[in-house]
Amino acid sequence: MKIQAIVLGLFVILFASVATALLSINPYPVYLGDSLRGVNFTGNTFNITNTASTAISSVSISSDAASKYRLTFNTTSISSLGAGSTATIAYNLSIPTDEPIGNRSLASLNVSAGTVSNSTSFMANVKGRLNIKDVDVTIDGKGSSNMQDGGKITQDAKPRSRVKFEVDIENLFDKSQHDIDIEDVQVTITIEEIDDGDDIELESGTFDINAGRTKIFELSFEVPEITAEGAYDVKILAEGITDEDAEEQQEITILLEVEKQSHDIHITQSKLDPATIVCSGQAKLDITIQNVGDQDERLAYILVESPGLKYRGHAGEIELFADPDDEENIASRNFTIAVPRGTEPGSYSIETRVYDDNNDVRDYNKQILTVESCTQPVTPSRNQTAETGGTRDLTGANASTAVIPIIREEQPEPGFSLDAFRKSPLYWPMLGLIALVVFFAVVIIILKISRK
């Protein structure tokens, strides 16, 4: 029984493969290639061939395509297909404007005649309508234009180079046909592993792009100090969303080459403290340098000069190794700059230059030290102190610049107060005297009236 089952299975498989081979479809699958959203394919064709030695009758053509693809055939049946004969079938197919992006199967294609059948798919690499039209790159002011996917920037960069990208993004929807806007468009640029093995990622703001219009996005970065020589992938991704809530995106990759000089030393820090001096004093300048070239430096040195302040400082025989992981790849030195009394008020430049083993200047930095005029403290006389309330020294006789006024409370002018009079010992005697005067006045008035 087991042997019979095995033989039966082999027979079924063999029959199925032979049956499939009797009706071949070409191309297989039916591939539409790179296809934009919203594109209509009209009059495209595929072939059905009878590979059998006898004719095949009643061949039918069908598909499970969803209605949104609007798939139609010029015929859905062939009455008879002779041995070795081929029939060409024309079809129309539309890719919806919200079709997901990428290589995908759109619909099935089925060809059958009785027990003979074959199936495949309509496939396409669906592309969005958000297109990276053009990329221009400038490195330290020198540019490469019209960069395309897989291209290499012609200008090489070096540590601390300023790299600027101008990315031209367009909305490929036809305003007259679809009039679909792409909203919240954003460009992201990723320079892979350029920051000592880490990525640098740049992001633009978001903008809307109307159908048929373009927008230029500008992004830039500085190549890090610690960067190995070589080619770095720069991935440029444009993303957005259509009016129909369909995601749009496109990504391209270009190459950025970084080349290091044999001798290259950078000033990575220059700190002046304080930056302003009143009258006279001292300022401290801290300088940090780093070897970003590919050769060790044995006799590097730093020169600091300020002609206006008549200052010149030097730090020499600095050893800097090229390996960025070596602790002696970086060195720091400090300089003390004196400002003597009598220096004219103003702004004084302090210039720093760093030299390599070949006595060539490799980097330059300038700081500004501001000198302000001397201030004279105000010391009032004793007569002024007596008249105005004076001042009181808070910090001692030798620090007369820190003073604070003594505020005295004003005394009110003297005047009559009824409450104060009532509490006076003269209150009651005076009250009795007033009453007596009033009494005699009344008596006199009555006597004058009675005489008349």
Q: Domain ranges in the chain?
A: 2-127, 130-258, 265-372
Confidence band, pLDDT 50/70/90 cuts, at residue 66: very high
pLDDT at 229: 87
- Give every strand in the sheet of 276-278, ordered side by side: 276-278, 361-372, 346-355, 297-306, 311-320
pLDDT at 403: 35
pLDDT at 143: 84
CATH topology for the 2-127 domain: Immunoglobulin-like (2.60.40)
CB half-sphere exposure, 139, CA atoms < 13 A? 17
CA 27 to chain centre: 47
Contact 247, 129 (CB under 8 A): no
Contact 232, 256 (CB under 8 A): yes
Q: Who wins on pLDDT, 322 or 288?
A: 288
Model confidence over 394-440: pLDDT tens digits? Answer: 333 333 333 333 333 344 444 555 555 565 666 667 777 787 777 77
CATH topology for the 130-258 domain: Coagulation Factor XIII; Chain A, domain 1 (2.70.50)
Q: For the residues 312-329, what does the mean pLDDT come to?
A: 91
Taking CA atoms, 173 is separated from 38, 102, 116, 169, 210, in Å, by: 8, 18, 43, 13, 9
CATH of the domain spanning 265-372: 2.60.40.10
Domains 2-127 and 265-372 share a fold: yes
Strands 276-278 and 361-372: parallel
Q: What is the overall mean pLDDT for the chain? A: 85
Q: For the residues 55-72, what does the mean pLDDT come to?
A: 95
Taking CA atoms, 42 is separated from 48, 170, 251, 372, in Å, by: 19, 26, 29, 82
pLDDT at 375: 72
Contact 73, 46 (CB under 8 A): no
pLDDT at 194: 95
Phi-psi region of 194 (alpha: psi -120 to 50; beta: other; left: phi over 0): alpha
| Structure token digits, residue 168 | 């031209």
Q: Who wins on pLDDT, 359 or 416?
A: 359
Specify the pTM: 0.64
pLDDT at 414: 47
Model confidence over 145-203: pLDDT tens digits? Answer: 889 899 999 999 999 899 999 999 999 999 888 889 999 999 999 999 999 899 999 99
